[in-house]
Amino acid sequence: MLIVVGGARSGYGPESEIRTAGDRHSPIRTASSHGRRNAAKPILDVRSAPEIGHLECPDMTAEHQHAPIGRGDGAAISLQGVFKRYGSIVAVNGLELEVAPGVCFCLLGPNGAGKSTTMRMLTAQALADEGRIRVLGYELPRESKQSRLEMGVVPQLDNLDVELTCRQILMVFARLYRVARGERAAAVQRALELANLTARADTIVRELSGGMRRRLLVGRGLIHQPRLVLLDEPTVGLDPQVRQELWSLIDALRASGVTVLMSTHYIEEAERLADVVAVMSAGKIVAQGTPQELVRAHAGEQVLEVYGPPAQLAQASEIVARNGWQSRRSGPALAIMRAESLNGEAPQGVRRPANLEDAFVALTGEEIE
């Protein structure tokens, strides 16, 4: 039976390997030959999900808490000295990254920083040129098929087959992720509810809106109740309400013990969700910590925003330069960092608490959405 979902180059998850059920690259066959070291304990009870808006939060009672992750008790994800080059472009440049089990870890970086390339290496869709990668205790790329069975992936690029219905896509993935035959229908139903696509279950993807397609990707990534979820820019293209609902879902996943690694451009997303933020720039982590730690370390406590006509801002910039203060343009204003320690030369302005965006710009020199 031939099953082709999406393109091998366009996304993540086992679909890039799916050709036939008997293919030697199929995760179905691989898993049976290796066995799962830690049979996934269900965390999203498909029968008892309370309905919360467009995206449902799973029932996160103690019985749904996860067992320790993968093989051994180490990090959920570990990258050591990882390089990935595309010709002369160094997409990932000596990356060192460790994600502890059960945390929501956020890669925050500007366009081209190497976030998606990192994600693709974690699913072995891209192979590192150098370095060591371990996911859920599995060594990549050698054991990538095992690790992929235990993780859920929501890619940045939509790799859905537009001719299939939501239900068909979810059913294919339920099978590929080895959801037991008798549980597949319930798992599909559950994923449809998570994505609030129950009413569109039999609509083909081509006829869905962009936001619906992203929600389907999220439901698809969670169909097998994975213990590690990779979300690459999960809320791009979602309306504000659905974005907030997705944040609730991510928060609930983390509360249940699922490890979440997400990449984002949205400062607010990182600030609200992340236990740990790693700021990525030019293929490297340039700073890492809780959002508050990053703000304190790289932007201080307060920011002074100076508003005025260009001549006044130019004058303020001169004062800033003379004193060696750290500043940036923030929309129409000049924002001066560490306002709590400025001297009497400081121009008139409005003081506000420093935030993660200030720290991000200080670290990367780039403005962000």
Ligand X SMILES: Nc1ncnc2c1ncn2[C@@H]1O[C@H](COP(=O)(O)OP(=O)(O)OP(=O)(O)O)[C@@H](O)[C@H]1O
Q: Which of residues 114-133 bind Mg ion (CB under 5 A)?
A: 115-116
Q: Which of residues 262-301 bind Mg ion (CB under 5 A)?
A: none
Q: Which is nearer to ligand X, 16 or 117 (CB)?
A: 117
When CB distances are held under 5 to 8 angstroms depending on the partner's kind, the choice from ligand X, Mg ion, none that residue 112 binds is ligand X
> What's the sign of the alpha-carbon dihedral 254, 259, 264, 268?
positive
Give me 210's structure tokens.
């962009």
Q: Which of residues 139-198 bind Mg ion (CB under 5 A)?
A: 156
Q: Which of residues 35-94 bind ligand X (CB under 6 A)?
A: 86, 89, 91
The answer to whether 100 and 52 have CB atoms below 8 angstroms apart is no
Provide long-range contacts, Cβ within 8 A and 24+ apart, for 140-145. 145/14, 145/17, 145/25, 145/27, 145/30, 145/31, 145/34
Scan for tokens 């990356």, then name that residue: 95
Q: Which is nearer to ligand X, 122 or 197 (CB)?
A: 122
Give me 274's structure tokens.
């992340």
Q: Which is nearer to Mg ion, 265 or 296 (CB)?
A: 265
Minimum distance from residue 98 beta carbon to ligand X (Å): 19
Minimum distance from residue 274 beta carbon to ligand X (Å): 16
CA angle (96, 15, 200) in 5-degree steps? 115
The answer to whether 280 and 113 have CB atoms below 8 angstroms apart is yes
Give the x-and-dash track for 20-39 against ligand X (CB under 6 A): --------------------
Q: Which of residues 88-147 bind ligand X (CB under 6 A)?
A: 89, 91, 109, 111-117
**What are the C-alpha distances in Å from 219 to residues 6, 9, 83?**
16, 21, 32
Q: Which of residues 79-118 bind Mg ion (CB under 5 A)?
A: 115-116
**What are the C-alpha distances in Å from 191 to residues 13, 173, 263, 328, 347?**
16, 11, 22, 44, 55
Is 7 an interacting residue with respect to ligand X (CB under 6 A)?
no
Q: Which is nearer to Mg ion, 116 or 259 (CB)?
A: 116
Minimum distance from residue 186 beta carbon to ligand X (Å): 35
Question: What is the binding site for ligand X (CB under 6 A)?
Answer: 86, 89, 91, 109, 111-117, 156, 265
Question: What is the binding site for Mg ion (CB under 5 A)?
Answer: 115-116, 156
